[in-house]
Amino acid sequence: MVGAGQLARMTHQAGIALGQSLRMLAETADDGAALVAGDVEVGDYRDLADLRRFAAGCDVLTFDHEHVPGEHLQALAADGIVVLPSAQALRFAQNKAAMRRRLAELGVAAPAWRDLSAEADPRAALAEFGAETGWPVVLKAISGGYDGKGVWIVETLADAEPLLAAGTALLAEAKVDLEFEVAAVVARSPFGQGAAWAPVETVQQDGICTEVIAPAPRLSAEQAESAQQLALRIAAELDVVGVLAVELFVDRSGGLLVNELAMRPHNSGHWTIEGSRTSQFEQHLRAVLDYPLGVTTQTAPVVVMANVLGGPDDTEPALDERVHHLMARWPDVKIHLYGKGFRPGRKVGHVTALGSDLQVVRARARAAADYLSLGTRAKVDAHE
């Protein structure tokens, strides 16, 4: 696995039960997965020589992020390395303009969009687009964005001037009249077998996912089925191998619009560790190793995952004591910490709660995550 962040850390855990040893290419020895795994190499995923050294002897090369240059992946494939998902598939997660073009060819619904980087005069193109769709307009970096980074909402052309002047390759999208957001997470093997989890509702704050609710409580059965089938179709059409997360907007009319794609285990699937018979991390390994895929039945009627974000530097009590108190107060809540340093707003872990009452389960997960983040500053009683 190229990358040694929290996704690699949790994939490593899943690999142990399958009798697999996960080798990781870490940027530093302090990366979250590098702290717990035995087979770690430190190198630069942007350097082809480092990638070649790392991949030597691997059965299959996969990823915990989408930032490896596509030309490097093509070179590794030419060397005989099995790369999954392939460079051809991963391109649609790395390049938002390529994704939008391909999904448009497939007739997949999406927000109105325009590739400003392909225009002779991006300013004039944006002005025209804003006049057609209405302001505000969403601008996205065509490559490299994540967790709200590389996404800007601009009210006027003047607001966009600094971004246009910076020379970043940009995509313009119409701002959706949004009801809520969901994610459909699926997996596909080289054999072509597919598996889908129940679509989940994702709660975003400042561009960062804070909660995931499974199954999505506001989706109708028909919408949920449509989201699953859409994600499986996209996986097949793009020849994705491994886990694919399709992030979707639900607009005011109930329509499903594709927002983003991720071809790896995804934050919206973390709930599956305790909440599904097969976690997304085990499923990703099954898929890239071309094992039969596991069942995706939920282990409880309601599962809620809440991200733990770093709080203030002076948060009290100390983290170990917060963990102790959390375990005492909510003994059924499962804790996952990623071995990352706490800093305000950074994803440093998640908690998962299970049960049958949505309101109760959601409150318990949110309270536990807030306590890990904020300690005595958390207004825990307000959640209970």
* pLDDT tens column, 157-173: 999 999 999 989 999 99
pLDDT for the residue 147: 64
Q: Both 300 and 153 in a single domain? A: no
CA distances from 371 to 91, 312, 313, 318, 325 (A): 39, 12, 14, 11, 9
Tell me which residue range forms the domain holding 346: 178-383
Cα 283 to chain centroid distance, Å, stands at 15
Q: Is residue 89 part of a domain?
A: no
- Higher model confidence: residue 379 or residue 210? 210
Q: Both 234 and 307 in a single domain? A: yes
Q: Both 130 and 195 in a single domain? A: no
Least confident of 23-32, 59-68, 144-153: 144-153
Last residue of a domain, one of 83, 101, 134: 83
Q: Both 131 and 276 in a single domain? A: no
Number of compact structural domains in the chain? 3
pLDDT, tens digit (0-9, with 9 covering 90-100), for 220-262: 999 999 999 999 999 999 999 999 999 999 999 999 999 999 9
Model confidence at 381, pLDDT cuts 50, 70, 90, reads: low
Q: Both 274 and 364 in a single domain? A: yes
Report yes or no: 74 and 87 within 8 Å, Cβ to Cβ: yes
Last residue of a domain, one of 124, 142, 174: 174
List of residues 6+ apart from 331 with CB closer than 8 A? none
Model confidence at 314, pLDDT cuts 50, 70, 90, reads: confident
CA proximity to 212, closest of 224, 198, 225, 222: 198
- Dihedral sign (CA 352, 39, 263, 294): negative
Is 244 exposed, middle or buried, given 0-12, 13-18 or 19+ CB atoms closer than 10 A?
buried
Q: Both 120 and 154 in a single domain? A: yes
CA distances from 116 to 95, 290, 376 (A): 13, 39, 47
pLDDT beyond 90 at 207: no
Report yes or no: 24 and 34 within 8 Å, Cβ to Cβ: yes
Last residue of a domain, one of 174, 203, 218: 174
pLDDT beyond 60 at 383: no
Report yes or no: 85 and 242 within 8 Å, Cβ to Cβ: yes
DSSP letter at 104? H
pLDDT beyond 60 at 382: no
Q: Is residue 103 part of a domain?
A: no
Cα separation of 354 and 158, whole Å?
47
Model confidence at 384, pLDDT cuts 50, 70, 90, reads: low
Cβ atoms < 10 Å from Cβ of 157: 17
pLDDT beyond 70 at 148: no
Q: Is residue 104 part of a domain?
A: no
Which CATH number fits the domain that encloses residue 344? 3.30.470.20
Averaged pLDDT score across all residues of the chain: 95
User: Collapsing DSSP states into helix, strand and coil, what is residue 135?
Assistant: coil
Q: Both 338 and 276 in a single domain? A: yes
Q: Both 219 and 147 in a single domain? A: no
Q: Encoding tokens for residue 325?
A: 């108190």
